[in-house]
Each structure stands twice: as C-alpha cells, then as structure tokens.
Structure 1
Amino acid sequence: MSNVEADPAEVTCTSSQRESLLGSVEVLEPRDVPLGGPRAMSVRRTLPQKQRSFIGAWCFCDHYGPDEVRMDVAPHPHTGLQTVSWLFTGEIEHRDSHGVHAFVRPGELNLMTGGRGIAHSEVSTAATSVLHGVQLWLALPDAHRDAPRDFQHYAPPTVLLDRVSIRVFLGELAGSTSPVTTFTPLLGAEIVLPAGATISLDVRPEFEHGVLLDTGDVTFQETALTPGALGCAGTGRSTLTLSSRDGARVVLLGGEPFGEQIVMWWNFVGRTHDEIVAYRDDWQAETDRFGSVEGYDGARLPAPPLPGGRLRPRGNPV
C-alpha cells in the first residue's frame, strides 16, 4: 500500500539502544492518518513513532477498517523494503512492475520485495464492500537493500493451541513455520483468542515483539491494550503471555533488533537525504528503476514535494 499522505513526515529511524526491561510493555497508541484526502480511507498508524521506530525490521504499521470504502491506489514506487499485506475482510487486486497480478485475500500473505525499486497498484475488487486489515513494511538491511524485485504468496494453516488459533505468516511459532523468504530473522502471526483464554507462547529471547490489538480485549504480559494499540516488549523474554476476557484478534510481530539507521520518506526507504532525492527524481522521470505496471486503468501516482531543508536524523530516545 502507498503512503499517500500529501505531506509525508521526515523520518530517520534508528534501532532502540534502551536496555530490555523484562517486566515492562511499552504501549504505542495509534494516530489517525487520512490517505488521499478527507473522503478517502483512514488508517491507524502505530509505527514509526518518536519513541520507537522499529520492532525488529518492522518499520511501518498501518491498521485499517472495518470500513465501507473502495481502495484505488494508482501505481506508486517503493525502495529498500518489503511490503506485507494481511487482510481480515475484503479482497484487493495487486499488479506490480515485476509482472505479478495477484489478489490479497483474508488469511493469505502477500509479500512484495522492492529493493532497488518496484512499482505496484492496489484496487479493491468489485465484490468488496468492506476493507479491514493491516499493511506492514520491513526495512531491508544494507547488504540486501538493492535486492531484485520479488513477490511471494502464502496461505498459512491454522494451528490450534489451548483453544487459541494461530496463523504464522512469517517465521516460526507454535510448531508452524512459514516458507516465505525475508532478509532478517522475523516473526509475523495472526492470533485469535476465544473468551476467557490465556496462552503462553515460546518465543526467541533475542527478538523484540509487538502485539497489535485488532478487535476485542487483550492483556499482553500484564498490560491491557486498547483496540488499535501496539504493545512492545524488548529482548530477553523466552515466553509471551496473552489473555482475553471477551475474546480478541491480534497480530504478533517480532524480530532481532534492526541495528541500522534508515531514512524513510513517502514510499522510499534509504540511508541518506540525497538517496531519497534521487529516488524521487527517478520516479518522476519514469526511469527503469521502478519499471511499469501493466493493466491498471489510470495514471501513476505523482510524488509529493520534498520538505524544505535536508532530512535530519531522529532516533529512539534511550
């Protein structure tokens, strides 16, 4: 999905240098971001924020719906990242400059790699009246940030553990392993807890973890989350505990701390201000860096103006 804000923020992200506090959970409350104007789709964004830029390599988290809305995002570019699309309700048609024509459906992962550069469009299907899901980005490490275009699709099986259903779309959890390729060690899973359920999950202690509450009520470790909030836990935990009084659906994210600095503006992830300027220039000039999207009926999405001044560092406070 494109970040179609008319005035995207300048963001330089660094990995957290704070020590793990095993008893604490940091809660990131979402901010509402309208995409494409007052009549367009609105999302709840929890990453990045001033106090935290990453969970592992996860660097962007938008949560949207359920809304009666039509999505029509024209071809737009990406660099230096992988996009992760996960739906709860609805269906989206995907086309990209790698030649892929696919559909995003509930319970099925679509992961697109836009290293050196890729373009894609996203349009909700005619049969879709309600959209509900998450859009996530993964920052590519420096050694792989110019990776070639790629697209992977995976429909994970549902694992039942202590009445709790789990779909692992990235990494490994509860005996289920995703075959999808990523460039840093990661975890991504949808977890549905019935009323009165409590579950303790064995996880990798070298991972940071985040729990995004979609619907219902959930307590993560000993911290209650409100719908749309993202609870973050540092490294050092070998188990994570989730419980729900009335039932809940959450998305669990995890990964090894991302030890690099990135600059993120609009749909680009780079390392410097000058790189971002070059990416924008290439997109506006329609160079072969991003290729073309075949089959979309309409014009490409133009890049917004760059902010005044140079993009400056902003990292996680200690």
Structure 2
Amino acid sequence: MRALRADDPEELGGHRLLARLGAGESTVVRRLLPNLGRRMVGAWCFVDHYGPDDIADQPGMQVPPHPHTGLQTVSWLHEGEVLHRDSLGSLQTVRPRELGLMTAGRAIAHSEESPRDHARLLHGAQLWVALPDAHRATAPAFEHHAALPQVSGGGGLSATVVLGELAGAASPGTAYTPIVGADVTLAAGTRARLPVEPDFEYAALTMSGEAEVDGLRLAPDSMVYLGCGRTELPLRADVDSSLMLLGGEPFAERIVMWWNFVGRHHDEIDRAREEWMTGTRFGEVHGYGGPRLEAPPLPPTPLKPR
C-alpha cells in the first residue's frame, strides 16, 4: 500500500497535484490520480477531490465547454449542485449522491457550473474511466441516476454503489470494464469488513473524516493504493468518516492521456486537439454564459503510451 497525499509536491506532465480549474480558476482541486506512483486503478485513470468549499457569496464551479474522447466522466457530490450541459443537448442538475455519468466515446463537449442559486457548500469528486479499445469510439451519451443501490456491511458501514458492482449490488450506470466505484460511509466506532473481488485492484480516497483502511489510517485529502488479492477489506473509524472505494480488473492496455483526451498514440491526441480548435467533431454546448476553453499546446516531444 502507498498513501498518496494531495499536498505532495510531485508533478506529472507539468500539473501539480494541487490545481485550479475553470473560468478564473474558480475551483481548487486535489489531484490524486494520476501521480508519479500510480497512473491507473483498474480503468479509473483520473481522480479530483474538491471542497468542502464555502461558495455562498461566490459563483462556485465554473468550467467552460471543453472536449473529451476515449473516456467516461463520473460526477459525484457530497454537497452542492453541478449543472451539466453537453453537445448532445443534455441539461441536468446533479445533486448529492446522484450519479452523473458521461460517456465521451469518440467525441463530446460539455460544461459544468454551479447553478445561479446554489447551496452554500460545494464538495465532491470528479473521476474518469478509460474506455477499452473495443468501446472507445462508441457513440457519446449522458446518464443521470438519482437512485443508486445500497450495501449495508453491518458494524456502522453503509455504501452506495456508484458504478459497477459491490457485494452483489449493481449500479445502473453503463460500465465497459469490470469495475467498481462506491461511496462508503463509516459511523464513529465502525469496525467492519467489506467483501471485495480478489481479481480487482483497489484504492480508497478519503472524502471526510479519518478512516482506517486495512490497518492504515487514511488522513484527510489522501488516497491509498491497495493492490489485488483480497476477498475482504477491513475498515474502521473512530469518527464519522466517508471514503470512495475505487477498483477494477487491472487495465491491460497502454494509454496516452493528455488534457481531456484518452487515446493510444500521439497522433490521435494531436488530431483530437486540432479538431477541437477548428470547431469540428465535438459539436457545440449551448447555454453556457461564456467562451469555451482553448486547448493548451502539445509538449515538444511525442506523447508516449503508458
């Protein structure tokens, strides 16, 4: 196991693990995946944790229209609301413990923003799932699921299955690889064991509190990689805590991940960037009150699959 702290000064691709997103860099995020120690957990390839932030007198999250290819985005909130718009014409407010799942497939563009009349606090996670080669050119889609299955582990543990399957409960969200994403709540005094799949690799991300995962105390704003080979995961908490459990079969394919694109080689990323800049392929996001994001320049050396 290796704990990955958000304030670690390590960098990947020029982006520090503490980053700012959106118009005017409106939202500070803690980037826990990828990092120099680990690039993926199963098909999970990107994890941002943000908040809790007091945005009562602020615009909150303001992420202008931007493109994606070759991945799925998972929007997950503990507090606040995020208004999703995309180039398919989707318009959906995602609220706490609701799944906003966007499949980019061959190409999509979207924006994310706090509604004009929003709650005081904003707290959540933005996660990406790499699509396997057989499905990464699938048609783009957006799903919103307000009701998600629950798992009770006894001893003060409860879990919401966000994506994939856990302990016999399956999320209605579309998944393209064997995967799991679950929001696990631990009441103060919890001593429990959560059944898991031995063929999956796992990681756990602290959302709040300070839980103990397989004997390791997981500090706030940190993530621990747990590896494979378990049939159950010991969990305990002395204070009310919550964490996200991410897992899946190890992703066998090598990928190139740059800006908002997941591909397999440099030329593919270069082409996606050019098509975004020229206004082709990704469509238009209507209704966002501002300009779309411009793509950054590609690095001077070719991107390599990892």
Identify whether the pair has TM-score above 0.5, normalized to the shorter chain: yes
Q: Residue in 2 aligned with 1:151?
A: 142
Query: In the TM superposition, what is the alpha-carbon distance from 1:104 to its structure 2 partner?
Result: 1.1
Partner Cα separation in structure 2 for residue 293 and residue 307 of structure 1: 27
Q: Residue in 2 aligned with 1:302?
A: 294
Task: Kindly indicate whether the alpha-carbon contact (under 8 Å) linking 2:22 and 2:61 is maintained by their aligned counterparts in 1.
Answer: no
- Greater Cα offset, 45-54 or 30-39: 30-39
Q: Residue in 2 aligned with 1:27?
A: 3
Q: 1:182 pairs with 175, 178, 186, which one? A: 175
Q: Residue in 1 aligned with 2:10?
A: none
Q: 1:47 pairs with 33, 52, 60, which one? A: 33
Q: Residue in 2 aligned with 1:98?
A: 88
- Greater Cα offset, 168-177 or 52-61: 168-177
Q: 1:208 pairs with 201, 218, 223, which one? A: 201
Q: Residue in 2 aligned with 1:11?
A: none
Query: In the TM superposition, what is the alpha-carbon distance from 1:312 to its structure 2 partner?
Result: 3.4
Partner Cα separation in structure 1 for residue 304 and residue 117 of structure 2: 44
SS at match of 1:45: strand
Q: Residue in 1 aligned with 2:240?
A: 247
Counterpart check, 1:284 vs 2:274: no
> Mapping of 1:34-183 within 5 angstroms?
34-36=20-22, 40-69=26-55, 70-128=60-118, 129-154=120-145, 155-162=147-154, 163-183=156-176
Query: In the TM superposition, what is the alpha-carbon distance from 1:130 to its structure 2 partner?
Result: 2.0
Partner Cα separation in structure 2 for residue 188 and residue 37 of structure 1: 29
Query: In the TM superposition, what is the alpha-carbon distance from 1:144 to its structure 2 partner?
Result: 0.9
Task: Kindly indicate whether the alpha-carbon contact (under 8 Å) linking 2:149 and 2:170 is maintained by their aligned counterparts in 1.
Answer: no
SS at match of 1:304: coil
Q: Residue in 1 aligned with 2:230?
A: 237
SS at match of 1:144: coil
Partner Cα separation in structure 2 for residue 99 and residue 37 of structure 1: 21
Task: Kindly indicate whether the alpha-carbon contact (under 8 Å) linking 2:181 and 2:244 is maintained by their aligned counterparts in 1.
Answer: yes
- Counterpart of 1:26, as a letter, is R
Partner Cα separation in structure 2 for residue 311 and residue 266 of structure 1: 12
- Counterpart of 1:285, as a letter, is T
Q: Residue in 2 aligned with 1:218?
A: 211
Pair 1:40–1:278, CA change in 2 (3 A) = same
- Greater Cα offset, 51-60 or 67-76: 67-76
Partner Cα separation in structure 1 for residue 205 and residue 241 of structure 2: 11
- Counterpart of 1:41, as a letter, is T
Partner Cα separation in structure 1 for residue 288 and residue 296 of structure 2: 21
Partner Cα separation in structure 2 for residue 39 and residue 255 of structure 1: 32
Structure with more contact order per residue of length (Cα contacts < 8 Å, sep ≥ 6)? 1
Partner Cα separation in structure 2 for residue 39 and residue 45 of structure 1: 15
Partner Cα separation in structure 2 for residue 226 and residue 238 of structure 1: 24
- Greater Cα offset, 211-220 or 173-182: 173-182
Pair 1:37–1:107, CA change in 2 (3 A) = closer
* Identical amino acids, percent of aligned pairs: 52
Query: In the TM superposition, what is the alpha-carbon distance from 1:310 to its structure 2 partner?
Result: 1.6
User: Could you state the TM-score of these two structures normalised by the residue count of structure 2?
Assistant: 0.90
Query: In the TM superposition, what is the alpha-carbon distance from 1:307 to its structure 2 partner?
Result: 1.9
- Counterpart of 2:99, as a letter, is L
- Counterpart of 1:60, as a letter, is F
SS at match of 2:291: coil
